[in-house]
Amino acid sequence: MSDILPFLKSMISTSGLSGYEAPIAELIAKEWTPLADEVTRSRLGSVHGFKRGSGAAKPRPSVLIATHMDAIGLMVSRIDGEFLHITSLGGIDPRVLPGTPVTVHASQSRTNLPGVIAMPPAHLLPEDKNSGVISIPYLLVDTGLTARELAKHVHVGDLISFATPPVELGEGLLSGHSIDNRASVAALTLCLQALKNSAHVWDVWAVATTQEEVGGLGAETSTFALRPTIAIAVDVTFASGPGASGYETFALGKGLTLGIGPTIHPFLYQRMKEVAQRIEIPAQDEPMPAYSGTDGDALQLTAEGIPTMVLSIPERYMHTPVEVVAMKDIQRAGRLLAEFIASLEEDFMSKMKWD
């Protein structure tokens, strides 16, 4: 497989907050165009890459692979002189926000303003808010502009994205923001690359979905429009790290996880597990006893119901500006997806049962 790191870095460096994914969607569509038979966009902005299968059945069965491309971020809630008050767009861990570099996407001037997230001194905060973690309503963004200049550029509702650059760490790890879930988009891109030189009977829909961080809306609408035979959600899961180990997390760089729970069809889980064992890709079972917390929940419950599988890549420091992932796990996910698709026989659905 090719080196996917440059493309992943370019995705991390491209804006695309939930509901405002146009910049990242354009980048992904350009990357997928030579790998797919056609690339289109949904009405909610999700990217659809279609790869035609070789099966004789009419209509051919199809597998949809959903990897959300949207990212968490911030929004301007109020302008107070030369400072911006903020609110979250998606779930954000506020503990690591103070001091984080950001980009303010100024709508009035159509420019990107550099800024930093600042924390007021403790004695200026309400008495019950001046210790421990400072919540987002009490944090500010400082762009360095005067109040008059700031008002020329920024409106309430303007977006703010993290500006932490991607950093290569030791042992093949990568740190950066928005790795949730652009790591999975990178894995799906590797899958499409592999399928260029691999026969597959089924049609394939590669989908980079919108608005997962605010409710899985892109996955729901794309699945309804495309009506795949089966679906796979690829996302990140919690990797072991400081204060997070044991049964709650999975080792970073030691393989993938396969979801088990009401969202996951047991027949798809078993096939994915068999393929992983055959090609010697380590994969642990991940209990998902209620919802999966991924696009898989929307995939499964669309229309009359779509048999769904959830595949995950371990990641440290989820929903922070410094998420960490192992590049070899991304490579593993791409290869496993391609091998799974190649394993789908024309009569696969006749074998499927829920037990």
Q: Which residues are catalytic?
A: 212
Burial 221-230 (b: 16+ CB within 10 A, else e): bbbebbebbb
DSSP of 122-185, one letter per residue? GGGS-GGGSSSSPPGGG-EEE-S--HHHHHHH--TT-EEEE-PPPEE-GGGEEEETTHHHHHHH
- The H or E element spanning position 15 is none
Residue 337 makes CB contacts below 8 A (sequence gap 6+) with 65, 187, 188, 190, 191, 232, 234, 311
Q: Do residues 96 and 235 make contact, with C-beta atoms less than 8 angstroms apart?
A: no
The rounded distance, in Å, linking the Cα atoms of 24 and 15 is: 6
Beta strands in the chain (DSSP E): 38-41, 47-51, 62-68, 73-80, 83-89, 101-106, 111-118, 140-142, 159-162, 167-168, 173-176, 203-209, 230-238, 256-260, 283-287, 308-316, 323-326
The rounded distance, in Å, linking the Cα atoms of 188 and 66 is: 9
Tokens matching residue 140:
């500010």
Question: Which amino acid type is present at position 170?
Answer: G
